[in-house]
Amino acid sequence: MADMIITNGHILTMEPGKEREFSKGMVVIDEGIITEVREKTQETADIIVDAQGGIVMPGLVNTHTHAAMTLFRGYADDLPLSQWLQQHIWPAEAKLTDNDIYNGTLLACLEMIKSGTTCFNDMYFHMDETAKAVEKAGIRAALSYGMIEFGNKDKADAELKEGSRFVQRWHGKADGRITAMYGPHAPNTCSREFLQRVKDKAREDGVKVHIHVLETETELKEMKEKYGMCSIHMLNNIDFFDSDVIAAHCVWLSDGDIKILAEKGVNISHNPVSNMKLASGIAPVEKLLKSGANVCLGTDGCASNNNLDMFEEMKIAALLQKVSTMDPTALPAKEVLKMATVNGAKALGINAGMIRKGALADIIIVDRNKAHMRPFYDAASHLVYSANGQDVMTSIVNGKLLMQDYEVLCMDEMKIIEQASVAAEDLIQRVNE
């Protein structure tokens, strides 16, 4: 007898090269793993989940965010970048406590579970609290302590020590739901020497690296001034890409950069909403995909989005490539759906992002019985262009039901919302003191 069977679903497997879509399918789950995907199973199970004709698909993978920044949702918007950072975000971040990070991350986990994200990739600080929130929420996450040293040697030692401590403490914890990584902030906030040390340490520890790269033209200019070359070339020169890298943003890329990223197997997390909202620029996603690079999707933090809805991110990613290349066939629905599932899972090194035997049971069910989801011709089109996160009925992570038929089972929803609201209020009071 299995743990769970999902019945009556419209299945979208997303299995690379063998994508299948079929109505009235069943998915069997046992011990956190998908054990069967077929039209009808002979298996029985403790829990039967009726998908009610909804789309049964891999959970979405958010490959770049800062979960606790939910506390800054709507705190400051529509400002010049330097003013936004220096007068609002940084002063508020300086006052963040462990308690804030824990409550802010739980709010983020709640929002992600409700909107169909089953795994997220986070870089921030007070990361023990982020990990504790992930442990409690039941979601899957890749976590890294964000290291910044600006070339200061003492700071470098301390940052690497904290990054390493976090990796040792959390990698593989929470029933394997937590993956730890190293998180050097960016090529223009970390020195070349430090980035080299991080790369070596990550390889030694067998973990991945999560870094911001070329989010802004400012970074590009700074790098050219300092090193006579852009971030990608500098990182390549120090063999940084010999470690397994998730590079967020990658907006300001030359064709030569794209070639390097593809050749070195760097995973690129595209964050269109944040790039648009902060006016950072438009990443050349079509070119990256054509080059063979693994491109996935991320929401970035709530201060620059201002939500964690990966469905919205998918739609805007597709729209932005179409209008920026002036080609309506650019980044079609099926491709952006891959970015948000199988490509994301690949980037984070988890056996998920698809519905197939042997994969992790990270699965969501999307409602089809709503006005904006009808009529129904093509699942990928509806998921990308019509749906949003509030169409997710059911979320399963590691074979556990975190939400079923819109009811959150893994935490007390209103309590989490209230706790985070109180934490934010206290925080802003401290900032304004």
Range 278-337, binding a copy of itself (CB under 8 A)? 278-282, 302, 305-309, 312, 315-316, 318-320, 322-323, 325-330, 332-333
Which residue in 295, 176, 282 sits closest to 246, CA to CA? 295
For position 10 contacting a copy of itself by CB under 8 A, the verdict is no
Residues 17, 371, 432, 433: which binds a copy of itself (CB under 8 A)? 371
Q: Are 85 and 79 in contact (CB under 8 A)?
A: no
Residues 94, 358, 375, 432: which binds a copy of itself (CB under 8 A)? 375
Sign of CA dihedral 352, 358, 362, 363: positive
What is the footprint of a copy of itself within residues 194-253 (CB under 8 A)? none
300 is in an annotated binding site: yes
Residues 148, 409, 417, 431: which binds a copy of itself (CB under 8 A)? 417
Any bridge partners for residue 245, and if so which?
A: 209
Nearer to a copy of itself, 312 or 362 (CB): 312
For 424, list phi and psi in degrees, rounded to 5: -65, -40
Nearer to a copy of itself, 59 or 184 (CB): 59
Residues 132, 155, 277, 287: which binds a copy of itself (CB under 8 A)? 277
Q: Are 67 and 109 in contact (CB under 8 A)?
A: yes
126 is in an annotated binding site: no
270 is in an annotated binding site: no
- Find the shortest distance in angstroms from Cβ 284 to a copy of itself: 14
For position 101 contacting a copy of itself by CB under 8 A, the verdict is no
For position 421 contacting a copy of itself by CB under 8 A, the verdict is yes
Nearer to a copy of itself, 35 or 274 (CB): 274
Nearer to a copy of itself, 93 or 244 (CB): 93
215 is in an annotated binding site: yes
- Find the shortest distance in angstroms from Cβ 136 to a copy of itself: 15
For position 390 contacting a copy of itself by CB under 8 A, the verdict is yes
418 is in an annotated binding site: no
For position 404 contacting a copy of itself by CB under 8 A, the verdict is no
Q: 308: buried, middle or exposed (CB in 10 Å: 19+, 13-18, 0-12)?
A: buried
Nearer to a copy of itself, 110 or 167 (CB): 110
Q: Which stretch binds a copy of itself (CB under 8 A): 126-134, 163-171, 187-195, 276-284?
A: 276-284
What is the footprint of a copy of itself within residues 21-50 (CB under 8 A)? none
- Find the shortest distance in angstroms from Cβ 104 to a copy of itself: 9
Binding residues for a copy of itself, how many (CB under 8 A)?
Answer: 73
What is the footprint of a copy of itself within residues 106-135 (CB under 8 A)? 107, 110-111, 114-115
For position 410 contacting a copy of itself by CB under 8 A, the verdict is no
**Binding site as annotated, residues for substrate:** 93, 185, 215, 300
**Binding site as annotated, residues:** 64, 66, 93, 185, 212, 215, 300
